[in-house]
A and B are shown apart, each in its own frame.
Chain A
Amino acid sequence: MLALIPLLPFGGFLVNAFFGRRLPKSISGGLATAVMAISCVISVMQVMTLAGMTPETRQINQVLYNWISAGDFSLDLALRLDALSAVMILVVTGIGSLIHLYSISYMHEETDPEYARYFSYLNLFCFFMLMLVLGSNVLVMFVGWEGVGLCSYLLIGYYYEKKSASDAAKKAFIVNRVGDFAFILGALLMVVTFNSLDFNTVALAAKGMPAETATFGTLSIITLLMFIGATGKSAQIPLYVWLPDAMEGPTPVSALIHAATMVTAGVYMIGRNAMLFEHAPMTLTIVAIIGAATALFAGTIGLVQNDIKRVLAYSTVSQLGYMFLAMGVGAYGAGIFHLYTHAFFKACLFLGSGAVIHALHGEQDIRNMGGLKKHIPITYWTFVIASLAIAGVPFLSGFFSKDEILFETFVESHRLLWGMGILTSLLTATYMFRLVHLTFHGEERFSRGTEPHGHVADGGHGAHGAPHDAPWPMATALVVLALGSILAGYVNLPHALGGHAALHEWLTPVFNATNCGQEVTSGALAGMAIEECAPVEERDPAEHAKTEITLMIVSSLIALGGIGLATYLWLKHKEIPAKLAAQYPGVHRLLLNKYYVDEVYDATIVQPIKVVSTEGLWRGFDVKIVDGAVNGAGYFVSGVSIVLRLLQNGSVKTYAASMFAGAVAVLAYYLWR
């Protein structure tokens, strides 16, 4: 049953990949969406079964087959559903289904084969993401980990005739590979240390080890390597550069990458190995610092970008920074909670931006928008709700999750990181409402479709003119996601507000590895005594309730202040931003060019590698040594044969003479030996 969840999208991929060329759009798109929806229903059923179990035994395992068996090391291709992966599969299949539904309408102007290709990639993407979250050991996770990298490459480069799209696809793939390399090194070190890759076994073994508070030991190295892998997949400093460029793909793909799949993989991976990270406090500190720095850094860039999707891309990088901050201060539950709420409002924002782009026939520059509110009301309202949620306005989903992260950071007394978080919160509210104002409010700056441009050739839209609102499949997805953006936070209503922090309670056994059983059977660990480790001490909720309420008020004010600031600057006094930009041209240019990080990477990494490859490896080693050896052998043989072929002159008598001379020589040898 569990295996069906990933296998259904895989089946959809196979059908669309092999027969999609001949299928009409309604069948290829409908099938892809249907398999995702069925997969979602099965996921819900499985999670219900899971919820019926006691917290100590809350796991569903399914071994597909024994994959690797070498000596006392054994590895199964196995799936495992527990509280953490339950949250993930619901996000992946739920949001994934909505994005599929939305795509049916968004991509309908493509030709049949292209349409089927798109949906086959989309299904494959979901398959790999589900393998990633359901895998019961690091290697199965790694299969999914690599798979989503591949699918992101395929989907970002979907419009492969466009140079910028194929470049962005390659960039995403290569940057991901850098992280994956570190990840697999971490996995190998894990095999050496624990002789197992199974998450349960490793968590139990790590639980019995002392925390590496003073030394930077094996656990710290394993976790640091895996975290480097996560920076690639989840777009953190220093490997975040691929994500903004990933906007070259179709917009629903951006929603899929940013909300449901791919970038959440790194956060999930840390949650999955929480016990390991818990015993490597130095790595955790690095995680927290990188997270907070990324959040702030990406937020400042988002403030000045002019492409609607790029602003959203930087906001994703920034929100992922929050999640890593949460992971880094040991608030794994809060990180996963933010991942889950973020999936709703970010998917809603991306799909909304897709609807805007769709309405304006490919226009993405917010300087050429404005005043769209009355033309596309559904898109407008859903977009505003999601923006309010991401900004952290009270009682929407983003408010609860972001506040939990900031509260945990504050309580763990990382005051500096908390300050960075609050500042990011202000930036988030500001740039999101800059986007809302420039896109939907103010005067109309778009051209009224005199010429259809962008990626879609007009096909059956009716006459150009006023922008039209999203058709029903797109509207459905938007409305459902907007509702999710409002309500998703209430599953984890904090104690301070009279809730039970239900999600937190649901996830805690996973992070404390109390649901993993106590038996350790595999070789090296069999004799090792597993100390009963006290669960991470639970704070008394009442004790900090006051602090929490205070912090909530602070961050609410910050969020509202950010929105007010955006309204003041970009709606009421539009001359001020331009004046500011003119007053500090250096800062403005720095932000507009994204701190020149791409340029720095190009100069310090790409160009040297290019020079070494061209001059050293290609012109030096390959041409001179490899080709030299091969051609040299050829020249030697042909040179020698020019001399030797003179012997074959066609005269029978010469041949007879040489035969005779040979016979005489052999005889002579035996006679005078």
Chain B
Amino acid sequence: MPIGHYLVLSGLLFAIGTAGVFLRRNLITLLLSVEIMLNAVNLAFVAFGRQWATTDGQIITFFVMTVAAAEAAVGLAIVIALFRHRESLNPEAFTSLKW
């Protein structure tokens, strides 16, 4: 399978994730969208690694997965704390940190 297919799929997933980050009004959905973006990038890495016959793409994917797991843990914890604080999951409710 030519690399173009993988990259198109990766691009589509990244676009869906980005759109989710900007358009959804729920913090948990936002986190999910970020995960989709990360995985789109992972797909691109693996595809390039196969194309050039190196293991670099695979290795960096593992790193990204680890970071994503940690991010999910911390992110969800923050979301729970925020929810307890404001009874809301809308990001627009949390704008008090400004001048």
What is the interface of chain A, defined by CB distance below 8 A to chain B?
645, 648-653, 656-657, 660
Contacting residues, chain B, for A656 (C-beta < 8 A): 21-22
Say whether B98 contacts A648, CB under 8 Å.
yes
Task: Provide the bound-state CA to CA distance between A649 and B91, in Å.
Answer: 13
Say whether B97 contacts A650, CB under 8 Å.
yes
Task: Provide the bound-state CA to CA distance between A652 and B91, in Å.
Answer: 7
Say whether B96 contacts A657, CB under 8 Å.
no
User: What are 24 A-B contacts with C-beta separation under 8 Å?
Assistant: A645-B99, A648-B98, A648-B99, A649-B95, A649-B98, A650-B94, A650-B95, A650-B96, A650-B97, A650-B98, A651-B91, A651-B92, A651-B95, A652-B91, A652-B94, A653-B21, A653-B22, A653-B91, A653-B92, A656-B21, A656-B22, A657-B22, A660-B18, A660-B22
Closest to A641 in B: B99
Beyond A645-B99, A648-B99, A653-B21: 12 further Cβ-contacts under 8 Å?
A: A650-B94, A650-B95, A650-B97, A650-B98, A651-B91, A651-B95, A653-B22, A653-B91, A653-B92, A656-B21, A656-B22, A660-B22
Contacting residues, chain A, for B96 (C-beta < 8 A): 650
B63 CB to nearest chain A CB (Å): 20
Taken residue by residue from 29 to 54, chain B's Cβ proximity to chain A (1 for < 8 Å, 0 otherwise) reads as: 00000000000000000000000000
Closest to B96 in A: A650
Contacting residues, chain B, for A650 (C-beta < 8 A): 94-98
Task: Provide the bound-state CA to CA distance between A547 and B94, in Å.
Answer: 112
Task: Provide the bound-state CA to CA distance between A104 and B93, in Å.
Answer: 84
Contacting residues, chain B, for A651 (C-beta < 8 A): 91-92, 95
Chain B interfacial residues counted at CB < 8 A: 11
Taken residue by residue from 52 to 92, chain B's Cβ proximity to chain A (1 for < 8 Å, 0 otherwise) reads as: 00000000000000000000000000000000000000011
Contacting residues, chain B, for A645 (C-beta < 8 A): 99
> 3 closest pairs, A vs B, by CB?
A650-B98, A650-B95, A645-B99
Contacting residues, chain B, for A657 (C-beta < 8 A): 22
Closest to A646 in B: B99
Task: Provide the bound-state CA to CA distance between A190 and B94, in Å.
Answer: 78
Task: Provide the bound-state CA to CA distance between A656 and B22, in Å.
Answer: 8
Task: Provide the bound-state CA to CA distance between A91 and B93, in Å.
Answer: 91
Task: Provide the bound-state CA to CA distance between A657 and B18, in Å.
Answer: 10
Contacting residues, chain A, for B95 (C-beta < 8 A): 649-651
Contacting residues, chain A, for B99 (C-beta < 8 A): 645, 648
Contacting residues, chain A, for B91 (C-beta < 8 A): 651-653
Closest to B92 in A: A651
Contacting residues, chain B, for A653 (C-beta < 8 A): 21-22, 91-92
A650 CB to nearest chain B CB (Å): 3
Closest to B95 in A: A650
Task: Provide the bound-state CA to CA distance between A657 and B97, in Å.
Answer: 17
Task: Provide the bound-state CA to CA distance between A649 and B21, in Å.
Answer: 18
Contacting residues, chain A, for B21 (C-beta < 8 A): 653, 656
Task: Provide the bound-state CA to CA distance between A653 and B91, in Å.
Answer: 7
Closest to B98 in A: A650
Contacting residues, chain A, for B98 (C-beta < 8 A): 648-650
B9 CB to nearest chain A CB (Å): 19
Closest to A654 in B: B95
A129 CB to nearest chain B CB (Å): 66
Query: Which of A651, A653, A656 has the most CB atoms of chain B within a 10 A radius of its CB?
Result: A653
A134 CB to nearest chain B CB (Å): 69
Task: Provide the bound-state CA to CA distance between A660 and B94, in Å.
Answer: 20
A398 CB to nearest chain B CB (Å): 85
Contacting residues, chain B, for A652 (C-beta < 8 A): 91, 94
Query: Which of B18, B94, B97, B99 has the most CB atoms of chain A within a 10 A radius of its CB?
Result: B99
Taken residue by residue from 8 to 22, chain B's Cβ proximity to chain A (1 for < 8 Å, 0 otherwise) reads as: 000000000010011
B13 CB to nearest chain A CB (Å): 16
Contacting residues, chain B, for A660 (C-beta < 8 A): 18, 22
Contacting residues, chain A, for B92 (C-beta < 8 A): 651, 653
B8 CB to nearest chain A CB (Å): 17
Task: Provide the bound-state CA to CA distance between A648 and B99, in Å.
Answer: 7
B40 CB to nearest chain A CB (Å): 14
Task: Provide the bound-state CA to CA distance between A656 and B91, in Å.
Answer: 12
Task: Provide the bound-state CA to CA distance between A572 and B21, in Å.
Answer: 117
Contacting residues, chain A, for B97 (C-beta < 8 A): 650
A525 CB to nearest chain B CB (Å): 73
Query: Which of A648, A652, A657 has the most CB atoms of chain B within a 10 A radius of its CB?
Result: A652
A128 CB to nearest chain B CB (Å): 61
Task: Provide the bound-state CA to CA distance between A304 and B91, in Å.
Answer: 95
A632 CB to nearest chain B CB (Å): 23
A458 CB to nearest chain B CB (Å): 70
A671 CB to nearest chain B CB (Å): 14
Task: Provide the bound-state CA to CA distance between A653 and B96, in Å.
Answer: 14
Task: Provide the bound-state CA to CA distance between A650 and B92, in Å.
Answer: 9
Task: Provide the bound-state CA to CA distance between A645 and B97, in Å.
Answer: 12
B74 CB to nearest chain A CB (Å): 15
B46 CB to nearest chain A CB (Å): 21
Contacting residues, chain A, for B18 (C-beta < 8 A): 660
Contacting residues, chain B, for A648 (C-beta < 8 A): 98-99
B85 CB to nearest chain A CB (Å): 15
B78 CB to nearest chain A CB (Å): 11
B31 CB to nearest chain A CB (Å): 12
Closest to B23 in A: A653
Task: Provide the bound-state CA to CA distance between A27 and B66, in Å.
Answer: 83
B11 CB to nearest chain A CB (Å): 13
Task: Provide the bound-state CA to CA distance between A648 and B98, in Å.
Answer: 6
B98 CB to nearest chain A CB (Å): 3
A338 CB to nearest chain B CB (Å): 81
Task: Provide the bound-state CA to CA distance between A660 and B21, in Å.
Answer: 11
Contacting residues, chain A, for B22 (C-beta < 8 A): 653, 656-657, 660
Task: Provide the bound-state CA to CA distance between A652 and B94, in Å.
Answer: 8
A665 CB to nearest chain B CB (Å): 15
Task: Provide the bound-state CA to CA distance between A652 and B30, in Å.
Answer: 11
Closest to A651 in B: B95
Task: Provide the bound-state CA to CA distance between A645 and B98, in Å.
Answer: 9
A574 CB to nearest chain B CB (Å): 88
Closest to B25 in A: A653
